[in-house]
Amino acid sequence: MRKTILAAAVMLMTAVPVYAAPSINGSTGLINTPSADVLREGEFSLGYHHLKDGGAGSFNLSLGNNLEIGLAGFRYDSDSNKDNQTLLNAKFSLAPETVLTPGLAIGVEDIGGKDKRTFYAAASKALPFGFRLHAGVGDGRYDGVFAAIEKTINPVSVLTGNNVFPSTTLIAEWDGDRMNYGARMSIVPGLKLDAGWRHSETYFGLSYTY
């Protein structure tokens, strides 16, 4: 019995991503929604996502163990009829994720109200076999409930020799308006490649957390 409990605890802990990554909206999270994760003390992240009608860049910084602040800049093509925007975000961790309890966080995106100021609360919890659940409530951009599920595929040998497929996380999320789907691949520690389908359009991106 003791060995079973220990094995389950190990699976839960290893299901949690080693490095957080920014969402397209800037806050640490998934595709279009935040998670309960915040950057650890001393960490920062940089990200860029190429969208069909432009691109989104982000910079996040940890201020202590529980507070993350960041900027998200959206730059659109001239024929998109959208205005360029730079948004200020902040997220505060209320409780870290443990083997038995979910992580909890509250946050705000677009503090200055340049586009759509959004307050939210999010919870994240790792499950066995590489799954992780996220759920939250928010106004503005999220318009009620948002949720996501991740499935991490650990490195496995492909073909023969030393060829190894990098650890990849598959993501499906409801952002309060639509379903989004994507994959996040760990190239080297801290460096992640993202690609998928967001609001019926493809996207791809690259992020680095240090």
Tens digit of pLDDT for each residue in 176-203?
999 999 999 999 989 999 999 999 999 9
Indicate whether 51 pLDDT > 50. Answer: yes
Cα–Cα distance for residue pair 57/23, rounded to 1 Å: 10
Percent with pLDDT over 70 in the chain = 86
**Hey, what are 192's tokens?**
């992640």
Q: What is the pTM of this model?
A: 0.86
- The pLDDT assigned to 162 comes to 54
How many Å apart are CA 71 and CA 129, to the nearest integer? 34
Structural domain boundaries, residue 162: 2-209
Residues 115-121 have a mean pLDDT of 95
| Total tally of structural domains belonging to the chain | 1
**Which residues on neighbouring strands pair with residue 63, listed in sequence order?**
67
| 152-165 pLDDT per residue, tens | 997 654 444 455 56
165: amino acid identity, one letter: F
The DSSP code sequence of 146-159 is: EEEEEEEE--EE-S
Predicted confidence at residue 82, as pLDDT, reads 87
10-24, 90-104, 136-150, 169-183, range with the lowest pLDDT: 10-24
Q: Distance from CA of residue 129 to its chain's centroid?
A: 19
CA distance 41 to 21: 15
**What's the pLDDT at 164?**
59
User: Cα–Cα–Cα angle for 160, 166, 167, nearest 5°?
Assistant: 125
CATH of the domain at 107: 2.40.160.40
Structure tokens at 4: 């079973």
Contact 71, 59 (CB under 8 A): yes
How far CA 101 is from CA of 104, 105, 125, in Å, comes to 9, 13, 7
Query: What does residue 163 show for φ and ψ, rounded to 5 degrees?
Result: -70, 125
Q: What is the mean pLDDT of residues 8-18?
A: 42
